[in-house]
Amino acid sequence: MPKGTVAITAERCKGCGFCVEFCPTHVLELSSAFNAKGYHPPHMIAPEKCSGCNLCGMYCPDFAIFGFRLAANGESKGATK
């Protein structure tokens, strides 16, 4: 059970790659798929390594991704509405 996960709003992504580069545990990669604007949004390639630290969210200039922690039962923890 990973400690965290990310939420991605693919349509906002402009494919800069900041989230991929600065994720400390290398969870992400830009996918080969396109969004409507023609950019390649990120996807998780190693979800089990995600700590929910939200560094990807801090770096994303387009508010297209953010990370959050999961409780042991898989529910979200914090960052809830």
DSSP conformation class of 47: G
Task: Tell me the per-residue interface mask from 21 to 50 with ligand SF4, x by CB under 6 A, - otherwise.
Answer: --x-x-xx------------xx-------x
Q: Is 38 in the site for another protein (CB under 8 A)?
A: no
* CB-based contact 68:54 (threshold 8 Å): yes
DSSP conformation class of 11: G
Q: In the block, which residue shows the tokens 């949004």?
A: 41
- Least separation in angstroms between residue 10's CB and another protein is 12
Q: Which residues bind another protein (CB under 8 A)?
A: 5, 7, 12, 14-18, 21-22, 39, 55, 57-63, 66, 68, 74-76, 79-81
